[in-house]
Amino acid sequence: MKKTPFVTKEQIEEIAKTYPTPFHIYDEKGIRENARRLKKAFSWNKGYREYFAVKATPNPFILKLLQEEGCGVDCSSLTELMMSEACGFKNDDIMFSSNVTPAAEYKKAKELGAYINLDDITHIDFLDETAGIPETICCRYNPGGVFKMGTDIMDNPGDAKYGMTKEQMIEAFKRLKSMGAKYFGIHSFLASNTVSNDYYPTLAGILFELAVELKEKTGVEIKFINLSGGVGIPYTEDKEPNDIAIIGEGVHKKFDEIMVPAGMGDVAIFTELGRFMLAPYGGLVTKAIHEKHIYKEYIGVDACAVNLMRPAMYGAYHHITVLGKENEPCDHKYDVTGSLCENNDKFAIDRMLPKIDMGDYLFIHDAGAHGFSMGYNYNGKLKSAELLLKEDGSVQMIRRAETPKDYFATFDFCDILKDVKY
């Protein structure tokens, strides 16, 4: 599927007069429409709710936008809980799914009335000692082995640090019930960024069968089943995106086959999507500022891996559009690089693109999730601004760019650094 930026060269030229590149920009219209498609796809389930994965795009303006569309939040740390609380999320608006969890984080989640998802059976006593067992509790399941769909290996849960075995799930539910828990949830995450309409239905079938078995063997009341994340996006143009309507109907079919005959037709379905919700509706905009002609052709831009780490960290592909040159032939081969003192600081390697001139703006696609959020400050580089393209065409800054003053703020070293003004 051809990737088209949601902004034009002319728009970016105007925006850059106020907000210099690099910056992340998000498409409000696209985000809202996608949230509504997701909600419609699962409207057959009375208790359905999307819990947006805060880790993907931890910005309160984005969270408030999704809150308006009826979403809750999936948190995995103290600061994500605090941000969600500040946005007005509370009680069953929040799903707390973490691992290797410090006591303070369980205490905060319990204080907010969040759904707590236990990653390990040893956390039962830890939670009891630090915060107490809530009335509603969830446990994360790991089936082990290799997760396949047909002949395709999707991921390897047996090597993942998340979740409990089936035997541990049974024991955990029995123990939690004896400790006062009344309502239970099941959660699992088996694969990341699947571009397949079959992933959620396959996972749902596994969890629905587990739910029936757990109910039979423990006698607990299962309130919800959380399919977690894993429904991804196509980063390359040769793949078609997931069809959430087909996915929702596939889960519906499994629900009717497994849950309804077991008398569990009132169990709510939850999702925790981050990438699917935001990635296509955010881009990193950067400007070509240098070119280099040695053994290869290089284009140096004013962004770097600080702004988008995925290509450097995973070798991940992100499509690039040279704004204003969308219809020109891609007849130049470039490495598109940032300025870090690391050779993996490359947004593209041997990428065929139109001829790039200094001052051209590049739109790096699918950076709306796990883009800004994975940033860091290596080489003393500073994180960029985040902007929101509103439905009316106006632009709102939803996070200012970092300054040297921010970088030095945690030092208590000398007056020169304390008194930095910019």
pLDDT in tens, 278-319: 999 999 999 999 999 999 999 999 999 999 999 999 999 999
* 341 in active site: yes
DSSP 3-state assignment of 279?
helix
How far apart are the C-alpha atoms of 161 and 158, rounded to whole Å?
A: 8
Mean pLDDT of 328-343: 97
The pLDDT value recorded for residue 203 is: 94
Phi, psi of 311 (to 5 degrees): -60, -40
The pLDDT value recorded for residue 157 is: 75
| DSSP H or E stretch at residue 148 | strand 147-149
Region for residue 359 given its phi and psi (left: phi exceeds 0; alpha: psi -120 to 50; beta: otherwise) = left
Q: Which domains does the chain have, with CATH numbers?
A: 28-279 (3.20.20.10), 280-408 (2.40.37.10)
Query: Is the pLDDT at 167 greater than 80, yes or no?
Result: yes
Mean pLDDT of 2-14: 97
- Please give the share of the chain, as a percent, with pLDDT higher than 90: 90
Whether 181 and 134 have beta carbons less than 8 Å apart is answered as yes
DSSP letters of 288-350? Answer: EEEEEESSSEEEEES--TTT--HHHHH-----EEETT-TTS---EEEEEE-SSSSTT-EEEEE
How far apart are the C-alpha atoms of 135 and 378, rounded to whole Å?
A: 44
Structure tokens at 224: 């919800």
For 239-269, what is each residue's pLDDT tens digit? 999 999 999 999 999 999 999 999 999 999 9
DSSP conformational letter for 245: H
Average pLDDT, the chain: 95
pLDDT band at 124 (very low <50, low <70, confident <90, very high): very high
Angle (nearest 5°) at CA 224 between 112 and 155:
100
Structure tokens at 294: 């040695």
Whether 247 and 11 have beta carbons less than 8 Å apart is answered as no
How far apart are the C-alpha atoms of 263 and 324, rounded to whole Å?
A: 58
Active-site choice (71, 138, 341, 414): 341
Q: Token pair 């200012």 is at which residue?
A: 400
- Please give the share of the chain, as a percent, with pLDDT higher than 70: 95
pLDDT band at 420 (very low <50, low <70, confident <90, very high): low
pLDDT band at 190 (very low <50, low <70, confident <90, very high): confident
